[in-house]
Amino acid sequence: MRIIAIFEKNERVRHIGHLDIQRAVQRGLRRSGLPVAYSNGFNPHILVAFASALSTGACGEREIMDVKMAEETKAEEFLRRMNDAMPPEMRLKEARAVDDRHPAMTALLKAASYEIRIHDPIQANRLIRSVDSMMAREEIPVSRKSKSGIREVDMKPLIHALRGEGQTLYAVLTLTEKESCKPSMILEGLKREAGMDPEEEVRILVTRTMLLGEGEDGGLRPLETL
């Protein structure tokens, strides 16, 4: 069996990279004393997977870990013992027990919702005013770095929703193993739309609020509920 658990990565630890977050979770699992399953081989490691890597500098409200257990474990017990074993910066919020045959979280992942807080109120005003006109375009080109160099892509099909309020942008963006739209791309598009210098520094604080998959009706649903 497996446990799928929702955890938070709060502001204090937002600069911790994904590999270090993985290790912190693994050590948390070891501290918890829960009956987790280990890989075979010379250097056995805990069988834990993450639905998606969260970039360095971003906070996460509902990140997902997927832990293979060696013994039957109740979700409530998992939650309780992990919260005793994790630092307050990485609290677990919910847990759910699933069968081993349950598909991998990464395979179900379709999109994520974000809050992008723009630090400077003047910049925020300019950028947020440009949301509607940008979204009204047929195509929204942004530059994207790849192995073959920088190329222009159209990010419009990757934006499920985008609106602004106060100093914050609320976005639902495609996130799959194949393609994804990052909050930084939204920012780049809006800067272009607003006629700002692309080099102008805009301080933002990104919080990924939810990971999403596709429900039976084709609409986006919280990933952990699928």
Partner 1 sequence: MSRQEMNDRIEAMLEKVQKAPRYTGGEMNTRIKGWEEAPLHFVFCFPDTYEVGMSHLGMKILTGLINDQDWSLSERCFMPWVDMMALMKEEGVPLFSLESRRPLRDFDVVGFTLMYEMSYSNVLAMLDMGGIPVERRDRGETDPIVVAGGGCASNPEPISDFVDAFMIGAGEEVMLEVNRVILERKKQGWTREVCLKELAKLEGVYVPSLYEAEYNGDGTLKRFSPICPEAPERVRKRFVADFDHAYFPTKVAVPYTEVVFDRITLEIMRGCTRGCRFCQAGMLYRPVRERSLETLVRQAEELVAATGYEEISLSSLSSGDYTCLPELIRELMKRMKDRRVSISLPSLRIDSVLKESLEETQQVKKSSLTFAPEAGTQRLRDVINKGVTEEDLIEKVRDAFAGGWSSMKLYFMDGLPTETTEDLDGIADLARKVVAEYFKIPKGERAKGLRVTVSCSTFVPKPHTPFQWAAQDTIPTINQKQEHLREVLKIKGVNFNWHAPHLSFLEACFSRGDRRLGRVLKRAWERGCLLDGWSDQFKFDEWMAAFADCGLDPAFYANRERSREELLPWDFLDCGITKEFLWREKEKADRAETTRDCRQGCNGCGIQRIRGLCAYADPKRAKAPSPSLVPYEAEGGEK
Q: Which residues bind partner 1 (CB under 8 A)?
A: 12-13, 15-17, 20-21, 23-24, 26-31, 33, 38, 44, 57, 85-89, 119, 203
- Minimum CB distance to partner 1, residue 166 (Å): 18
Note the maximum CA span of the chain.
58
- Minimum CB distance to partner 1, residue 177 (Å): 26
Of 79 and 131, the one with the shorter C-beta distance to partner 1 is 79
Of 155 and 202, the one with the shorter C-beta distance to partner 1 is 202
141 contact partners, CB below 8 Å, separation of at least 6: 152, 153, 154, 155
Of 145 and 203, the one with the shorter C-beta distance to partner 1 is 203
- Minimum CB distance to partner 1, residue 104 (Å): 24
Q: Computed over its alpha carbons, how large is the radius of gyration of the chain? A: 19
| Cβ atoms within 10 Å of 89's Cβ, excluding its own | 14
- Minimum CB distance to partner 1, residue 89 (Å): 5
Of 69 and 226, the one with the shorter C-beta distance to partner 1 is 69
Instruction: Give the number of C-alpha atoms closer than 13 A to the C-alpha of residue 225, restricted to the C-beta side.
Output: 12
Q: Scanning the structure block, which residue is given the tokens 């379709």? A: 110
**Structural tokens at position 92:** 């677990």
- Minimum CB distance to partner 1, residue 11 (Å): 8
Of 119 and 129, the one with the shorter C-beta distance to partner 1 is 119
Angle between helices 183-193 and 121-129 (to 10 degrees): 80
- Minimum CB distance to partner 1, residue 205 (Å): 8
**Structural tokens at position 219:** 């609409």
Of 89 and 94, the one with the shorter C-beta distance to partner 1 is 89
Q: How far is CA 5 from CA 72, 99, 130, 184, 201, in A?
A: 15, 14, 37, 27, 36
**Phi and psi of 20, rounded to 5°?**
-70, -35
